[in-house]
Structure 1
Amino acid sequence: MRRRIIALTLALGATGAGFTAHRLITDAPPRRSGATVGATKLIAAGRGPAVAKEITRPFEPAALTQAVRAYLGTRPGKAGVMATDLRTGLSFGQNEKGRFVTASIMKVDILSSLVLQRQRDRRGLTAGQRELAGRMIRESDNGAADSLYSAAGGGDGVRATNKRFGLKSTTPFPGSWGSSLTTPSDQVRLLRTLVSDKSPIKPLSRQYILGLMGSVLHEQAWGVSAAALPGEKVALKNGWTPVHHQGHGWAVNSIGRITGPDHDFLVAVCSGDSPTMEAGVSTVEHVAEMVVSTMRDSR
Structure 2
Amino acid sequence: MRRHIIALAVAAAGATGAGFTVHLLVSDGPQRKGAVMGATESIGSSTAGRGAAMAGARPFDRAGLRRTVRAYLSGRPGKAGVMATDLRTGLSFGENEKGDFVSASIMKVDILAALLLQRQRADRGPATGGGRGLNPASGERDLGLSDGQRDLASQMIRESDNTAADALYSAAGLSAGVRKANRRFGMTDTKPFSTSWGSSWTSPADQVRLLTNLASEKSPIEASGRRYILGLMGSVVDEQAWGVSAAARPGESVALKNGWTPVHDQGNGWTVNSIGRITGRDHDFLVAVCSGDSPTMEAGVATVEHVSDMVVDALRDSRP
Common fold by TM > 0.5 = yes
Residue equivalent to 1:232:
252
Q: 1:16 offset after TM fit, Å?
A: 4.4
Q: Distance in 2 between matches of 1:187 and 1:21?
A: 24
Q: Distance in 2 between matches of 1:266 and 1:138?
A: 19
Residue equivalent to 2:166:
146
Residue equivalent to 2:224:
204
Verify the 8 A CA contact 1:96 1:184 in the aligned structure 2.
yes
Residue equivalent to 1:174:
194
Give matches, 1:153-192, under 5 Å. Answer: 153-192=173-212
Verify the 8 A CA contact 2:2 2:31 in the aligned structure 1.
no
Give matches, 1:47-62, under 5 Å. Answer: 55-62=56-63
Q: 1:55 offset after TM fit, Å?
A: 2.6
Deviations 1:44-82 (A, max 9, x none): xxxxxxxxx973211000000000000000000000000
In structure 1, the gaps of 5 or more residues are: 32-52
Verify the 8 A CA contact 2:276 2:286 in the aligned structure 1.
yes
Q: Does 1:28 align with 2:30?
A: yes
Deviations 1:82-138 (A, max 9, x none): 000000110000000000000000000000000100111114111111000000000
Verify the 8 A CA contact 2:17 2:196 in the aligned structure 1.
no
Q: 1:30 offset after TM fit, Å?
A: 5.9
Go from structure 1 to structure 2 and tell me whether the alpha carbon gap of 1:164 and 1:248 turns closer, same or farther (over 3 Å shift). Answer: same
Verify the 8 A CA contact 2:4 2:298 in the aligned structure 1.
no
Q: Distance in 2 between matches of 1:246 and 1:8?
A: 23
Residue number among 230, 234, 250 corresponding to 1:214 in the alignment: 234
Q: Distance in 1 between matches of 2:19 and 2:104?
A: 6
Residue number among 304, 308, 314 corresponding to 1:284 in the alignment: 304
Q: 1:18 offset after TM fit, Å?
A: 4.2
The two structures have a TM-score, normalised by structure 1, of: 0.89
Q: 1:6 offset after TM fit, Å?
A: 3.9
Q: Distance in 2 between matches of 1:29 and 1:221?
A: 9
Verify the 8 A CA contact 2:17 2:197 in the aligned structure 1.
no
Q: Which runs of 4+ in 1 moved over 3 A?
A: none
Partner letter of residue 234 of structure 1? Answer: V
Q: Distance in 2 between matches of 1:58 and 1:180?
A: 38
Q: Distance in 2 between matches of 1:232 and 1:29?
A: 14
Partner letter of residue 10 of structure 1? Answer: L
SS in 2 for 1:215: coil
Verify the 8 A CA contact 1:81 1:95 in the aligned structure 2.
yes
Q: Distance in 2 between matches of 1:265 and 1:199?
A: 17
SS in 2 for 1:234: strand
Q: 1:11 offset after TM fit, Å?
A: 1.6
Task: Name the count of aligned residue pairs.
Answer: 276
Verify the 8 A CA contact 1:235 1:256 in the aligned structure 2.
yes
Q: Distance in 2 between matches of 1:8 and 1:261?
A: 34
Q: Does 1:125 align with 2:123?
A: no
Give matches, 1:88-127, under 5 Å. Answer: 88-122=89-123, 123=132, 124-127=144-147
Q: Distance in 1 between matches of 2:67 and 2:235?
A: 35
The two structures have a TM-score, normalised by structure 2, of: 0.84
Q: Distance in 1 between matches of 2:108 and 2:31?
A: 29
Verify the 8 A CA contact 2:32 2:245 in the aligned structure 1.
no
Residue equivalent to 2:46:
none
Go from structure 1 to structure 2 and tell me whether the alpha carbon gap of 1:25 and 1:58 turns closer, same or farther (over 3 Å shift). Answer: farther
Partner letter of residue 223 of structure 2? Answer: P
Verify the 8 A CA contact 1:29 1:230 in the aligned structure 2.
no
Deviations 1:3-48 (A, max 9, x none): 42242212224244141333124342768xxxxxxxxxxxxxxxxx
Identity across matched positions, percent:
70
In structure 2, the gaps of 5 or more residues are: 34-53, 124-131, 133-143
Q: Distance in 2 between matches of 1:231 and 1:135?
A: 26
Q: Distance in 2 between matches of 1:252 and 1:24?
A: 16
Q: Distance in 2 between matches of 1:162 and 1:173?
A: 13
Q: Distance in 1 between matches of 2:4 and 2:103?
A: 26
Partner letter of residue 193 of structure 2? Answer: F
Residue equivalent to 2:65:
64
Go from structure 1 to structure 2 and tell me whether the alpha carbon gap of 1:25 and 1:236 turns closer, same or farther (over 3 Å shift). Answer: farther
Partner letter of residue 66 of structure 2? Answer: T
Residue equivalent to 2:293:
273
